[in-house]
């Protein structure tokens, strides 16, 4: 089956493809690409391995499909930052939305983290293309806000990186934080939300 064709999907196709992607996300985000097997994914999706390969031609094809789905959602909150909005509100809102993304989609965050930690072999064109452009653009916006004295002056790129680092940490390193805190991650996110709100309030002031 060629997933590139333009025919509308049948009921069974929709159902199986989404089951496969859900299963693959679960498996890839825990074991990484090389550490995951098609049998695991097929089993988790409730179908046979040949049937899985009927919908996706290769293991890589599944991985690519997952990553491209993810990258859109990933960019959205930053893209949505409004240059004409209130500087501090826009940034605080970005922090909140990014933390919500970690809370609600930790597997996606870990899938992405796995990919970057290992040198981003499959998404470097995305990183130095779409992502770089967007970040450069928003860094300029933030820099403009700093020029007007609406928020404190810092390197805007590193300010963006710090938001990423602080919010993703709770998803990517959840195993660590929850073992150290001895709490389930939902309560940790509640505290994290208060903490991040407070420090960014001070940073931006």
Partner DNA sequence: ATCAATCTTGACTGATTGGTCAACTGTGTT
Partner DNA sequence: AACACAGTTGACCAATCAGTCAAGATTGAT
CA angle 128, 106, 196 (to 5 degrees): 85
Q: How many residues does the chain have?
A: 205
**Residue 154, SS3 per DSSP:** coil
- Following DSSP, what letter does each residue of 16-58 receive, concatenated? HHHHHHHHHHHHHHHHHHHH--HHHHHHHHTS-HHHHHHHSSS
Q: How far is the CB of 71 from DNA (least distance, A)?
A: 21
Cα–Cα nearest to 24, from 4, 45, 50: 45
CA-based nearest residue to 156, from 146, 166, 167, 169: 146
Q: Is 161 in the site for DNA (CB under 7 A)?
A: no
- Rounded to whole angstroms, the Cα distance separating 43 from 32 reads 17
Window of 46-54, 87-95, 142-150, 154-162 that interacts with a copy of itself by CB under 8 A: 154-162
Count of residues engaged in binding DNA, rule: CB under 7 A = 22
Q: State which of residues 2, 4, 8, 11 lies at the interface with DNA (CB under 7 A).
A: 11
202 binds DNA (CB under 7 A): no
192 binding a copy of itself? (CB under 8 A) = yes
Which residue number, 53 or 188, has a Cβ lying nearer to a copy of itself? 188
Q: Which of 19, 127, 141, 150 binds a copy of itself (CB under 8 A)?
A: 127
Residue 102 near a copy of itself by CB under 8 A: no
| Interaction between residue 48 and DNA (CB under 7 A) | yes
Residue corresponding to tokens 């002031």: 205
Measured from the CB atom, the residue of 96 and 164 that comes closer to a copy of itself is 164
Residue 98 · residue 167 · CB < 8 Å: yes
Q: Which of 17, 21, 33, 99 binds a copy of itself (CB under 8 A)?
A: 33
Q: Which residues bind a copy of itself (CB under 8 A)?
A: 30-35, 110, 113-114, 116-120, 124, 127-128, 131-132, 135-136, 152, 154-155, 157-159, 161-162, 164-166, 168-170, 172-173, 175-177, 179-182, 191-192, 194-195, 198-199, 202-203, 205
């Amino acid at each position: 089956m060629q997933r590139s064709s333009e025919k509308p999907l049948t009921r069974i196709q929709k159902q199986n493809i989404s089951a496969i992607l859900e299963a693959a996300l679960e498996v890839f985000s825990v074991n990484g690409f090389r550490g995951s097997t098609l049998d695991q994914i097929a089993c988790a999706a409730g179908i046979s391995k040949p049937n899985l390969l009927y919908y996706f031609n290769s293991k890589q094809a599944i991985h690519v499909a997952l990553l491209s789905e993810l990258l859109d959602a990933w960019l959205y909150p930053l893209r949505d930052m409004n240059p004409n909005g209130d500087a501090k509100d826009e940034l605080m809102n970005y922090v909140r939305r990014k933390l919500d993304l970690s809370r609600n989609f930790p597997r996606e965050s870990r899938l992405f983290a796995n990919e970057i930690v290992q040198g981003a072999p499959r998404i470097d064109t995305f990183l130095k293309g779409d992502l770089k452009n967007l970040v450069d653009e928003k860094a300029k916006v933030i820099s403009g806000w700093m020029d007007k004295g609406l928020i404190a002056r810092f390197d805007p790129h590193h300010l963006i990186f710090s938001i990423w680092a602080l919010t993703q940490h709770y998803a990517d390193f959840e195993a660590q934080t929850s073992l150290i805190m001895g709490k389930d991650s939902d309560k940790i996110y509640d505290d994290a939300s208060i903490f991040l709100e407070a420090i960014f309030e001070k940073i931006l002031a």
